């Protein structure tokens, strides 16, 4: 594996301007209180025409209800359909955010949604435009998870991930950590931004730790973005029972299953005992020290990857991610200095 560091990856602090707006929290797909404000037409005329043609309805039968709290990547709007097969139902329409066209493979996302559809892991998707990334998904009447929900529902979360990782997904595309990191680095360099002086050393350290992982572990289809808010307990149709949904599959791909467990534990800020419980519930046995170590390696790698991702997003115009990126990189630096 190439662990060389390009000379361009040197410079000042990760985010020179730390005065950006605070990170917005995901609150969509939740109770009605999560809706923020009324909204006018969020789609272009062409996007609306394309969607209504596929749904076989007239544009006048689309009613935009509300703007929903945004995530880290996209904007989301609540849509009511007043005609057609889905008459009377509400859907969340996702509109890709700034810079996502350089980050997300929409064809790959759609392919993975088709794979998980048969297992009902995500809310029902009725429309997906690979070209624009616009997607319409059933509104889940229920509760969006946060850190405390993860802590209180570790067996349910572990069972959901075990179900995902057990899927037959021979046609799924890989989640290439090193390739994605290099791609994000190039995007940042192309904007003229600089990396901190510590970046090269930390990248070498992260890559060397990943090299020590057992490459014989069988990969699986993974979600790869297990923030608590991507888990929702509820129902996407009134005639269906409540269940735990996994939403937002933009970064999904074939990967080490431990990547998802590491992401879940890191994003929910689980303590050592809670991490042990998560792993024990997932494996349905006591986890080994090697499995704990594997999880920690992936957590460091994720802090590296998503801090660079955030740096590019900030350069692309989304200043709200400055604090997020700084927080992840600062945590990684502290871990690096503690262990070296």
* 13-57 per-position pLDDT tens digit: 565 544 333 333 333 333 333 444 456 789 999 999 999 999 999
Cβ distance 246 to 122 under 8 Å? Answer: yes
pLDDT given for residue 162 in this prediction = 97
Cβ distance 115 to 205 under 8 Å? Answer: no
With vertex at residue 227, the alpha carbon angle to CA 166 and CA 337, rounded to the nearest 5 degrees, is 105
- Among the residue ranges 24-33, 226-235, 283-292, 300-309, the one predicted with the least confidence is 24-33
Residue 248 clears pLDDT 50, i.e. is over it = yes
DSSP H or E stretch at residue 240:
none
pLDDT given for residue 113 in this prediction = 96
Sorted by where each starts, the structural domains of the chain and their CATH numbers stand as 32-339 (3.90.1200.10)
Q: Which residues contact 223 (CB under 8 A, 6 or more apart)?
A: 161, 164, 230, 246, 249, 251, 252, 260, 263
CA 72 to chain centre: 8
Supply 177's token pair: 């950590």
DSSP lists the bridge partners of residue 31 as none
- Supply the pTM of this predicted model: 0.87
- The CB density around residue 208, as the number of other CB atoms within 10 Å, is 11
State the average pLDDT over residues 288-306: 96
In this prediction, residue 333 has a pLDDT band, given cuts at 50, 70 and 90, of very high
Residue 317 clears pLDDT 50, i.e. is over it = yes
How far is Cα 105 from Cα 181, in angstroms, rounded to an integer? 15
Supply 241's token pair: 């029972």
Characterize the bridge pairing of strands 141-144 and 125-128. Answer: unpaired
How far is Cα 207 from Cα 211, in angstroms, rounded to an integer? 6
- Among the residue ranges 148-157, 246-255, 317-326, the one predicted with the least confidence is 317-326
pLDDT given for residue 254 in this prediction = 96
Q: How far is CA 99 from each of CA 104, 244, 296, rounded to the nearest angstrom?
A: 9, 30, 30
Average pLDDT in the chain: 87
Residue 80 clears pLDDT 90, i.e. is over it = yes
How far is Cα 308 from Cα 305, in angstroms, rounded to an integer? 5
């Amino acid at each position: 594996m190439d662990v060389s560091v390009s000379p361009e990856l040197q410079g000042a602090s990760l985010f020179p301007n730390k005065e950006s707006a605070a990170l917005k929290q995901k609150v969509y797909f939740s109770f009605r209180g999560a809706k923020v404000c009324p909204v006018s037409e969020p789609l272009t005329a062409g996007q609306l025409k394309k969607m209504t043609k596929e749904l076989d309805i007239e544009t006048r039968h689309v009613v935009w209800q509300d703007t929903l709290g945004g995530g880290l990547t996209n904007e989301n709007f609540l849509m009511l359909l007043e005609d057609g097969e889905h008459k009377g139902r509400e859907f969340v329409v996702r509109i890709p955010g700034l810079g996502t066209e350089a980050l997300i493979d929409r064809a790959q996302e759609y392919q993975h949604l088709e794979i998980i559809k048969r297992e009902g892991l995500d809310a029902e998707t009725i429309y997906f435009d690979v070209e624009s990334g616009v997607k319409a998904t059933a509104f889940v009447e229920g509760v969006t998870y946060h850190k405390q929900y993860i802590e209180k529902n570790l067996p349910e979360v572990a069972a959901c991930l075990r179900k995902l990782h057990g899927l037959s997904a021979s046609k799924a595309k890989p989640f290439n950590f090193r390739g994605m990191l290099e791609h994000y680095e190039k995007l940042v360099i192309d904007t003229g931004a600089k990396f901190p002086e510590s970046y090269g050393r930390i990248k070498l350290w992260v890559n060397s730790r990943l090299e020590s992982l057992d490459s014989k572990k069988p990969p699986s289809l993974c979600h790869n973005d297990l923030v608590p808010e991507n888990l929702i307990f509820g129902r996407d149709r009134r005639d269906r029972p409540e269940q735990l949904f996994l939403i937002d599959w933009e970064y999904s791909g074939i990967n080490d299953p431990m990547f998802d467990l590491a992401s879940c534990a890191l994003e929910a800020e689980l303590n050592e005992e809670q991490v042990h419980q998560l792993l024990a519930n997932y494996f349905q046995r006591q986890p080994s020290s090697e499995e704990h170590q594997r999880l920690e390696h992936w957590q460091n790698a994720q802090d590296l990857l998503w801090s660079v991702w955030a740096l590019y997003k900030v350069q692309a115009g989304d200043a709200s991610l400055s604090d997020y990126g700084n927080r992840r990189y600062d945590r990684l630096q502290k871990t690096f200095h503690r262990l070296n």
